[in-house]
Structure 1
């Protein structure tokens, strides 16, 4: 999610009230939000702060129910008893507000047992699958959203070196720096359905990520670039959301608008986009690629050089790249399709040309990960000619 050195939320507690009860299927909400909060890394302190933001809002009769799976680690935050295992919470209102103390109702299930400290690997697709299955079976709801909270990087990772957190999500330091590649994330979500999936993480606003999850959710929220360490402002998000109808479209707009309104020099981009037309988007992209086959390689690389890029020059903004070729009908058609998919997009003054969707196209001197850009790691390369196109340009 965030950059350091960078809906269920995974958190832990020590001083909080211990509610040793199972959830009941009779618990109802219009909108169930699951937050998968992987703080088993250097973001632990930010996780405690975000839990407190959630607890500062009285969600009674709001239409929202929030469940968070929180995994912690030692060494970054000593609050709430400094526990370091994995705990499950239903968010409970704290009238004392942002006091750094977790009071939410602790839940048991999915292998988490009262009186035991259990460490779950947040980089294991079975963990997120079990989490979703357990929570969804415990509540009645009309809408459901999943928020994935952690370091992020896009479609995969070249290295498990913690200093090279590039193209995956949910890094678990206690479990040998395990993490979720995009293929593993879709494996963990297979068979599930959400109205919205949001990534409170860096670099997840990519066409590759959207395509991987297009059959699982109707809306995705992600940033093309870095996020600040403290990520989204959950107090502001839910304060605004409870004033509106709790449907997913309103919720998505509130998240992006909140990010815009609380922007800082480190809030670069955030966008919300539909996934239903991603197959059509890929078709328009392939038509654009066919046009580019007749363009000189040096002209394409010059256009890439003038395009907004991210993540150490490995990703570019797809719309801005197409805008370098607006003399072609194929580029215009692709731009129009992107604009119809991305329904809320914000970027700060440094990235005014961002269209809301990044794509992998590394700079000529930075294509070491190109070897991994293949069908084994992501679905996107199976159904588009983009991988062949950039390999032909760069190699």
Structure 2
């Protein structure tokens, strides 16, 4: 082989390795300054929405160097599950496969979530990182006892299977023996799958995840937590408008939340949208104030007229601030100072929140009773719902009485 051919082959190889299908990310010669991971559960009725969001993500990444600001996406395709990275390939940004994962393990498996997060963090260790969860959210509970349907060519009737009642995140289609189940991961399992102290921000781009129970369970996972107390439209975040405030040198998560809110305002009729940005370093003050109020008595406040962010039958997500004030009032032993302590703690914890005038039902959202967080009306009875609630960190710190076993 002559010298010219050798140089030509070497030059061609250099072009190919700039960004390629690989099992380990190629860092190039630039220092990675930030990593953002989006964990998408898209094997469901939201699959088209993710494709739209991917285009928005690529549009946003045109404003930064993808070698310095890494954007990783875990998703499902017809080929299976994979972790992808935004790369510049011949002058065009695209998602390039970094690692494939076993198809038999669903995305809502705690082991899968943990493995993907560890792979992303391991690829870029010590780099400031963000984590987005993309998919369906149900806060900490699912109100539906039955959700299975027979599918396939030979399916002649519906099959109903009793499923666990408590879920938090996912909504993934899992098929077994021609039966399609929509599966989620429980909140405590989800929290266990996320390592402590590794993320600057966690943002749930899905419904109902701004529960105090969810936030408290994730209190050691990130510095900033962003979520929605109500539902959000299927298209979710306008990533092309939000990412410029998240990815890059000028990080401003409040402005990112405002970009989301502004995008939906006036877009639909009604235009339901809520968003909340929380400082997780201040959540202990909220828990302490709530604990003092709950300790004042055992009488539950009436939920009549209380602001409810859920439109799911049989389950209420009541405004946290309003609920705690009513709890203090009905028990009568909690002082005004305790309520004021809660109000001050909430102001420190919730650094930004906003809500549209109407919710998804077309009902008004009372801004004077909008804390940005929801809470469960814990009845403390022998039920599947409350039995699971007793496993949560929020119950153990706020509700559990001294000397009472878990």
Shorter-chain-normalised TM-score: which range?
A: 0.7 to 0.9
Aligned match of 1:309: 308
Does residue 42 (structure 1) correspond to residue 77 (structure 2)? The answer is no
Quick one: structure 1 residues 266 and 226, their matched pair in 2 at CA, closer, same or farther if it must change by over 3 Å? farther
Structure 1 unmatched runs, 5+: 1-17, 73-82, 113-117, 389-395
Give, in whole Å, the separation in 1 of the partners of 2:117 and 2:49: 23
Secondary structure of the equivalent of 2:231?
Answer: coil
Match of 2:249 in 1: 245
The equivalent of 2:209 in structure 1 is: 204
Quote the offset at 1:386 in angstroms: 7.1
SS at match of 2:260: helix
**RMSD over equivalenced CA pairs, Å:** 3.3
Asked whether the 8 Å contact 1:160–1:177 carries over to 2, the reply is no
Q: CA deviation at 1:357?
A: 1.3
TM-score, normalising length: structure 2: 0.74
- Is the CA contact (8 Å cut-off) linking 1:373 and 1:381 kept in structure 2? no
1:361 to 358, 368, 377: 377
1:5-154 pair list within 5 angstroms: 19-21=20-22, 22-24=24-26, 28-57=31-60, 58-61=62-65, 64-72=69-77, 83=78, 85-92=80-87, 103-108=94-99, 111=101, 118=103, 120-140=105-125, 142-154=127-139
What is the rounded CA distance, in whole Å, between the counterparts of 1:147 and 1:283 in structure 2? 28
Give the alignment partner of residue 288 of structure 2, picking from 283, 301, 317.
283
- Alpha-carbon offset, residue 246 of structure 1: 4.2
Unaligned runs of 5+ in 2: 1-18, 149-162, 176-180, 330-334, 359-364
| Deviation larger for 349-358 or 210-219 | 349-358
| Structure ID, larger Rg | 2
Q: Which residue of 2 aligns with 1:214?
A: 219
CA contact (8 A) 1:154 1:209 kept: yes
Query: Would you say the 8 A contact 2:137–2:170 is kept in 1?
Result: yes
Q: Is the 8 A contact 1:29 1:140 kept in 2?
A: no
Distance 2:211 2:137 in 1: 11
CA shift for structure 1 position 96: 11
Alignment-derived partner of residue 16 in structure 2? none
Q: TM-score, normalised by structure 1?
A: 0.76
SS in 2 for 1:278: helix
Partner of 2:153: none
Question: In the TM superposition, what is the alpha-carbon distance from 1:380 to its structure 2 partner?
Answer: 1.4
| CA-to-aligned-CA distance 1:142-201 (integer Å, 9 cap, x gap) | 311110001001113355744999841012212543321111101211456211111001
Is the CA contact 1:38–1:70 (under 8 Å) kept in the aligned structure 2?
A: yes
Alpha carbons 2:166, 2:385 under 8 Å: kept: no
Q: What secondary structure does 1:89 align onto?
A: strand
Structure 2 SS opposite 1:309: coil
The reply to whether residue 261 of structure 1 matches residue 262 of structure 2 is yes
Distance in 1 (CA, whole Å) between partners of 2:273 and 2:296 is 31
Q: Distance in 1 between matches of 2:322 and 2:91?
A: 46
Aligned to 2:32, the other structure's residue is in SS state strand
Contact 1:90 1:106 in 2 (8 A): yes
User: 1:71–1:279: structure 2 CA closer, same or farther, 3 Å change rule?
Assistant: same
SS in structure 2 at match of 1:384 = helix
Give, in angstroms, the shift of residue 321 of structure 1: 2.8
Query: Does the C-alpha gap of structure 1 residues 206 and 93 become closer, same or farther in structure 2, counting only changes over 3 Å?
Result: farther
1:375 alignment partner in structure 2: 390
Deviation at 1:141, TM superposition (A): 5.4
Map of 1:311-330 to 2, 5 A cutoff? 311=310, 312=312, 313-324=315-326, 328-330=336-338
Alpha-carbon distance in structure 2 between the residues aligned to 1:94 and 1:267: 39
Question: Is the aligned partner of 1:345 residue 2:330?
Answer: no
Name the CA distance, whole Å, in 1 between partners of 2:323 and 2:90. 49
